[in-house]
Amino acid sequence: MKVYEAVILAAGVGSRLKEYIGETPKPIVRVGGIPLICYSIASLLDIGVNKFHIVVNPFNKDSIEEVLVDTDLNFELIVNNSPERGNGYSLMIGMERVQGQYFYLSMSDHIYSYGIHRMMLNSEFADVVIAVDSKPILINVEEATKVFVDNYNVVNIGKKLKKYTHVDTGLFIISMNLYPYFLRLMEDREVLELSDMIRSAVQDNYNVTIFDVSGSAWMDIDTMEDIRRAESMREYLLSSLHTNLGHILKLFE
């Protein structure tokens, strides 16, 4: 599946890291010498994405723009003035700007190895494809969004699931066919989380499938402990990145 646009969610306030990073916006905290948001951008550039819709908040917009403005990246920053309304609300703001039929959705605070995005190119078309991991090794599963899967179809998703088969890696391919449906959900809710939107889509018989990337390295950076772990594994993480991806990352150093 060839997809050329991406929405990146960077409107969160990073409250769990506030004690350690102060006023530095989480997406530009340097991990291994590179701003955190640049890992997901570089991975997507490496597989042919050429347009980035980055949803930010009023407080981190200028800092993120400063990191990206001197690159050749084709990007736009879309300000979410109400980040307290949830990451689903940020998604909707980003979807408004997508022009193609499909787009990648990525979190700004995840680090992915080369293989994950490349494997996603083999995904079959669906309303939503979620990259999931049945055996995560670098994250705290208790903090992760869980996914219950039956024969590659998503049955349920959420942080508090007691019965689950995989965890969500924070990488998706989403069809714009869902935009009117998500809009209706947003009309009824003040706070809208991504997992709630996907769960509702499953319940209403949209085609929500998974691509299992188990065995690939990826990290969700939520705490100072996560940053320390990523720093300690810097050589391993970088060695798992494709040569082209390593070259792209150097643009952001």
Q: What is the pLDDT of residues 160-214, one digit of tens each?
A: 999 999 999 999 999 999 999 999 999 988 999 999 999 999 999 999 999 999 8
Q: What percent of the chain has pLDDT over 90?
A: 54
Dump pLDDT digits (tens) for 59-95.
Answer: 999 999 998 988 888 999 999 999 999 999 999 999 9
Helix (H, G, I), strand (E, B), or coil: what is residue 78? strand
Q: Which CATH superfamily is domain 5-252 in?
A: Spore Coat Polysaccharide Biosynthesis Protein SpsA; Chain A (3.90.550.10)
Cα distance between residue 92 and residue 172, in whole Å: 14
Domain chopping of the chain, boundaries: 5-252
Residue 20: predicted pLDDT: 63
Distance between alpha carbon 96 and the CA centroid of its chain, in Å?
17
How many Å from the N-terminal Cα to the C-terminal Cα in the chain?
30
- For 99-144, the DSSP string reads -SSEEEEEETTEEE-HHHHHHHTTPPP-SEEEEEESS--SS-GGGS
Residue 239 scores a pLDDT above 50: yes
Q: Give the global pTM.
A: 0.90
